[in-house]
Structure 1
């Protein structure tokens, strides 16, 4: 199925090209998320030491296009608040094109996609998925 947001069929390089306005039409929905394991030595596992909770999340287009957009995240604690933050640039099969239909430079395209991620309400869906995946249910004896 060809999504109306994409002006051209998928190219030989595997990237899906779309304009910045067409990016807004994608119905991004959560696919999968996970937590990266923190590797530290036993001497660093003391009570009260700062810890880092970080992971990844991947989203797809609910309308059925093969578009994918993922990113790394971490939870940051500031006095009285816990905030989820995107870390680094997204990973994706999307490449944005300009008004002239020419490819934007890869770095610029990723920066635009990062800006899109930063206005999404992704933390709640990611948190819910992680609870389902990592929650330990009590054993019944």
Structure 2
């Protein structure tokens, strides 16, 4: 499991200091991006910009199921916990939970597919990625 810290800023909230529902998707995206950096074989090989440059490879969200349970608030210190539910040749399904301490604010299942940016067709995940994320 990968745990990524997030601080709630004013720009994340409405005028009442409550986190906008859409911001949780951003929090989850940030966590997945940093997870990719963590499991990369060497240096920045797994960074999204490097995969785009060298392999014409991008990860796109195929589907999201989200369950909001409690509101986040201005200045909260949150954590996004990310684990892999399913790994296939062309996609990964993540379970991502946004927490404030031990409290679950929302949980989501995010399916991400790998595509070739030139053809926009699915491509097999890089060979180093599946073992790395399954080891989490």
Give the TM-score taking structure 1 as reference length.
0.28
Structure showing greater relative contact order (alpha-carbon pairs closer than 8 Å, 6 or more residues apart): 2
